[in-house]
Amino acid sequence: MKFAIAVFSPAHAPSSRRALRYAEAVLACGHEIARLFFYQDGVHSASANVVTPQDELDVSGQWHAFIAANQLDAVVCIAAALRRGVLDEAEANRYQRQAVNLPKPWELSGLGQLHEAAQLADRLVCFGGD
């Protein structure tokens, strides 16, 4: 079965951790993740500038390691990212900003990628948001 997973909460929120554990379970059960889509405050999970206190889980770092290790398609909504100061090199140059805080394997793209993922997958599962 193919899953598309959308994350609407930042890494420090419990729903982001639940989304990560769900994604890990999906792969552990032999299923496929068509795309991970980070939207609204979920884009903060992709920021290289997230610093987690020593007594907390580094969910942002865990997301990064999970995506890289499994070579997953991880898309960050460009409009939500720009609004929250999460920039890759191209957007930092475009808007003449000094900070680049969106490392590979994350990719900026539009909301259409979520729609496409929902069409490609058998299930769309969303975590977080109001």
- β-bridge pairing 74-77 and 32-38: parallel
Active site residue 29: no
Return all residues near 64 (Cβ < 8 A) that are at least 6 apart. Answer: 46, 103, 106
**Are the C-beta atoms of 122 and 3 separated by less than 8 Å?**
yes
- From 4, 36, 74, 77, active-site residue: 77
- Positions annotated as catalytic residues are 77
